[in-house]
Amino acid sequence: MITLLAQALDPEGPVADSAAGLWWLMLALGVAVFLVVGVVLVVGLFRSRPGDAPEAGPQPPDRFGPWLVGGGVALPLIVITVVFAATVDAMRDVPTTAPDGALVVEIVGHQWWWEVRYPAEGITTANEMHIPVGRPVALRLSSADVIHSFWVPALGGKLDLLPDKVNTLVLQADEPGRHVNRCAEFCGLQHTLMGMDVVAEPPEGFAAWVASRQLPAAEPAGANARRGLDVFLGSGGCASCHAVRGTVAAATRGPELTHVASRASLGAAAVPNTAEQRARWVSDPHTIKRGVAMPPADLSSGELADLVAYLDGLR
Ligand code: CUA
């Protein structure tokens, strides 16, 4: 939580910038009110000295009148009006429609991973999103099951992914950076392990990434990997849920895997994407992320090694 707050207060885009400005204003007002109340309290404590004769009967109302009107009505009214005006102003910085020239990315929330599609570029990937610096990005958010919520604190904005409606969130990154988004709406057992690697990079770097993702899967290199492809398409049952472009595997129930080995993390940012973790994930993903839809592999150790060798080549 502290990390997310730190990222939100280190804005790297215009939407995050205005949200962070609002946060600081509210903090400053909160601190000012706290100090005023603290001073009044301390003064009050020191004024009622022990030994003072208690005044008989109720206090005359006019003694408290100015405090009640000032502290109980005027001050809250001023503070709330200022915060309201600043909030409306910050909301105007959050675009509600995609500007011309925006990059369109479709994001579909699943329990518990992110499907990421670039319709104009013809790319589908999972749990990773690359965006070019300095160009608005229109995220079309929807869900395949329950409600999820998209939030990259450093880039600002936070919007729900609903099963029956497409919401549009427009973001922009002003500088290159790597961020991890976290699903921000409780969506079941592994809500906390529903993350996505978000990379903002210069336009050339983004174009290179798109070109690399547009390529079909690499041919299996070596005998192990070739046998691994057979396992993937056959006894492993992987192809009934996953797609690998360039093979007959085209299912869309689970994450697309054409370049899975070159992603930064595995299991929706659950663990780093190392060969060791890939083997662990394939043999039993529930040891990493209990409750995921993918079952443990029912394979011999040889078949498992071949399958992992094949996956290692999907870069
Ligand atoms: Cu998806 Cu929480």
Task: Return the percentage of the chain with pLDDT > 70, whole number.
Answer: 94
8 A C-beta contact, residue 165 and residue 142: yes
Q: Which of the four pLDDT bands, split at 50, 70 and 90, describes residue 55?
A: low
Task: Return the percentage of the chain with pLDDT > 90, whole number.
Answer: 56
User: Mapping DSSP to helix (H, G, I), strand (E, B) and coil, where does residue 289 land?
Assistant: coil
In ligand 1, the atom with minimum distance to the C-alpha of 185 is 2
In ligand 1, the atom with minimum distance to the C-alpha of 187 is 2
Q: How far apart, in Å, are the Cα atoms of 155 and each of 6, 102, 141, 202?
A: 12, 16, 16, 16
How far apart CA 125 and CA 115 sit, in angstroms, is: 6
Q: CB under 6 Å to ligand 1: residues?
A: 109, 112, 148, 183, 185-187, 191, 194
On the question of pLDDT at 110 being above 60, the answer is: yes
How far apart CA 81 and CA 296 sit, in angstroms, is: 57
**Alpha-carbon torsion, ordered 166, 206, 193, 260, to 10 deg:** 110
How far apart CA 272 and CA 215 sit, in angstroms, is: 24
At 215-267, the pLDDT tens digits run 998 888 888 989 999 999 988 889 999 999 999 998 989 999 999 999 999 99
